[in-house]
Amino acid sequence: MKLIIALIFCAFFYYAQLFIYRKFWNKSFFVDINFAKTVVREGDHNQLIEVITNDKILPLPMVQIKFAITKSFIFKSYDNSAITDQYYRNDYYSIMPYRRITRTYDFTSSKRGYYRMKGMDVICKDLFLSGMCIKSYKHEAAVCVLPARVLLEEFTIKARELFGEIVDRYNRNEDPFEYAGIREYRSYDPMNRINWKASAKVSQLRVNKFNTTFTQRVVIAINMECHIKWHEEDFAEEQIRLAATFADYFIQSHIPVALYSNGCDILTGKLVEVEAGADISHLRNIEIALARIKDNTGAGSFINIIDESLKNKTYDRTDYIIISNYRKNDLVELYKKIKSENIGVTWIIPEYGVVTPQITKQGDSGIIKWTVKNAN
């Protein structure tokens, strides 16, 4: 019976290696996929880093990693991948005992948003490439792509004057007890404002700066609902870019900025709302809130949001900047209502160049059309 013993011997070793691989392939085996930077801006470069570690003596001759990520990330090449609703990636590795392989892909973030990679599948085969062992890993890796900035120089002079007026108004009525720093001397500065010690240090005249006496804020309100559904996404993205640009502009001028929108946060599902603030970290908060806007809850909720905001009398002065392609009667009425209460309000209407909104022809300098470049 030695032949049968020999055959059993052979079968034993074959199935033993199959068993060993099925049982132990994922022990001390780690897969980590993350991004080099978790916060980038639209158009910035980033890196996708895959780290596979085999911290055991069992070699893994064939390991396949499958995961999906947004197709808005533009990679250098699309080998080993398929793009449909998402970018599906298929990577193969051969990893020996006690080795770690780190693979880095460069990509460009083409669209703002908050992108998560929720999980990945790992497939391993045994020595004879016959048995297949599959495991799904839950993995949270996320990157926040902040909206790009638009060039304020592309606005009309009239529009820039409006924004400048807001900044200028803020800088009047200084409070001598609210020290805000030192700046260069200008010809209109009184002599009693000169900081002689600072001037002596830099050999140039320097004056003290003071914060304003009254509280002021700028409210940037974005309406994610569009006038018509055609190219809604383009307008929504442009509105978000405008909001980020304005927030940056006003915060740099030390004016508190608040953000309201009828868009929902992709993580919490709540309406995007950021209270007023004026420091650099606040700007980052606003940009992240803008990046995380996903859906919109309709024009009705936008009007309610503005109405609620108008009830807030905490601030001595509030200037509203409404960014909305939607321009139906209910919003027009709201605009007129705000204006009638002597509250500073500017309405930016992003629209394609060929379209001229009727409301902009009414001669109201507070309503400005912003030309959106047609992607097609």
| 36 to 55: interface string for other proteins, x by CB under 8 A | -----------------xxx
Q: Provide the 8-state DSSP code for 194.
A: B
Let me know: does 148 contact 112? Beta carbons within 8 Å. Answer: yes
Stretch that binds other proteins, among 127-135, 173-181, 240-248, 251-259 (CB under 8 A): 127-135
Euclidean distance between CA atoms 86 and 88, whole angstroms: 6
6 binds other proteins (CB under 8 A): yes
Neighbours of 178 (CB within 10 A): 11
Let me know: does 260 contact 321? Beta carbons within 8 Å. Answer: no
Let me know: does 124 contact 63? Beta carbons within 8 Å. Answer: yes
Cβ closer to other proteins: 15 or 179?
Answer: 15
Residues 61-90 that bind other proteins (CB under 8 A): 61-62, 75-77, 79-80, 90
Euclidean distance between CA atoms 224 and 208, whole angstroms: 42
Residues 227-256 that bind other proteins (CB under 8 A): none
270 binds other proteins (CB under 8 A): no
Pairing of strands 73-75, 99-109: antiparallel
3 binds other proteins (CB under 8 A): yes
Q: At 135, is the secondary structure helix, strand, or coil?
A: strand
Residues 45, 83, 106, 336: which binds other proteins (CB under 8 A)? 106
Let me know: does 260 contact 220? Beta carbons within 8 Å. Answer: yes
Residues 303-332 that bind other proteins (CB under 8 A): none
19 binds other proteins (CB under 8 A): no
| 133 to 162: interface string for other proteins, x by CB under 8 A | ----xxxxx---------------------
Let me know: does 122 contact 135? Beta carbons within 8 Å. Answer: yes
Chain residues that interact with other proteins, rule: CB under 8 A: 1-7, 9-10, 13-14, 17, 34, 53-55, 57, 59, 61-62, 75-77, 79-80, 90, 92-94, 96-106, 119, 125, 127-130, 137-141, 267
